[in-house]
């Protein structure tokens, strides 16, 4: 299985992200994941295509990917061998109409749910080619040492969130251009976002989120949420389902 090398791990620690420009899964396995996504998309009803949150709660076939050695071997290099799966999300920006994702920190939306945020990592797997023209993810490198910036309101009609970080210098942004099957990994605290998709090409990704198992979950702030012990020991004693 692919693992991050020492240079990649050091880069992640310094910059808050790393690009894995290799196929995460085999083409056959990626095809199965894409089929599940297309099924979820067909069932979404009135929801927008960028609102397919926690699909693994509804379809446990996704655990084959979320709890896979391919994914966990990458994550282990960043947060250690004791890993809890806590979230996933299909993020699809439709051609021409895919909304902007404003500049934000994931950790700011999760404040109070955990006792710390320094060992939460997201894999962003490209199910479609993800390019500047169709609204690929972008980050401000090295901004993962805070995680709770000052925000201002934005119009939800044009944005996937209701707020964005104030007074940000976008000139430092790095764009995550990925081919289908490649992925990025980012720290939950890094400032990131994505432009709107104004191209004729769909941009779909699957986010897979993990926390180190010594991170304590607040049960009151996570009611109805399902966690899986993906690998190693349940160090914080959180309520987890076994992989």
Query: Is the per-residue pLDDT at 46 higher than 60?
Result: no
The tens digit of pLDDT for each residue in 73-97 reads 999 999 999 999 999 999 988 899 8
Task: Please calculate the CA angle 220-226-229 and round it to the nearest 5 degrees.
Answer: 110
Query: How much is the pTM?
Result: 0.94
The tens digit of pLDDT for each residue in 134-166 reads 999 999 999 999 899 999 999 888 887 889 999
Using alpha carbons, select from 23, 6, 15 the residue that is nearest to residue 192: 15
Task: Indicate whether 18 belongs to any domain.
Answer: yes
The tens digit of pLDDT for each residue in 186-231 reads 999 999 999 999 999 999 999 999 999 999 999 999 999 999 999 9
The answer to whether the CB of 141 falls within 8 A of the CB of 16 is: yes
Q: Helices 69-79 and 6-15 sit at what angle, rounded to 10 degrees?
A: 60
Task: Indicate whether 1 belongs to any domain.
Answer: no
**Gyration radius of the chain's alpha carbons:** 17
Residues 6+ apart with CB under 8 A from 72: 83, 210, 230, 231
Which ranges constitute the DSSP H helices of the chain?
6-15, 27-42, 55-58, 63-66, 69-79, 106-109
- Separation between Cα atoms, residue 147 and residue 188, nearest integer Å: 8
Domain that holds residue 49: 6-242
What is the CATH classification number for the domain harbouring 190? 2.60.120.620
Number of domains into which the chain is organized: 1
Task: Indicate whether 109 belongs to any domain.
Answer: yes
């Amino acid at each position: 299985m692919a693992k991050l090398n020492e240079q990649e791990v050091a880069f992640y620690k310094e910059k808050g992200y790393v690009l894995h420009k290799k196929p995460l899964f085999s083409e056959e396995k990626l095809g199965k994941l894409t089929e599940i996504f297309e099924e979820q998309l067909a069932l979404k009803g009135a929801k927008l295509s960028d609102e397919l949150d926690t699909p693994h709660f509804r379809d446990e076939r996704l655990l084959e990917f979320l709890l896979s050695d391919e994914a966990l071997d990458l994550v282990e290099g960043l947060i250690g061998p004791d890993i809890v799966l806590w979230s996933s999300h299909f993020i699809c920006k439709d051609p021409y109409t895919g909304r902007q994702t404003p500049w934000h920190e994931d950790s700011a939306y999760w404040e109070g749910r955990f006792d710390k945020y320094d060992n939460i990592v997201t894999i962003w797997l490209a199910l479609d080619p993800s390019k500047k023209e169709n609204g690929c993810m972008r980050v401000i490198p090295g901004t993962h040492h805070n995680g709770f910036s000052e925000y201002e309101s934005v119009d939800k009609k044009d944005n996937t969130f209701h707020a964005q970080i104030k007074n940000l210098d976008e000139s430092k942004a790095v764009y995550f251009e990925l081919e289908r099957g490649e992925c990025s990994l980012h720290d939950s605290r890094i400032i990131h976002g994505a432009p709107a998709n104004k191209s004729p090409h769909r941009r779909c990704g699957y986010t897979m989120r993990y926390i180190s198992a010594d991170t304590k979950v607040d049960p009151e702030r996570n009611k109805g949420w399902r966690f899986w012990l993906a690998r190693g020991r349940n160090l914080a004693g959180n309520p987890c389902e076994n992989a």
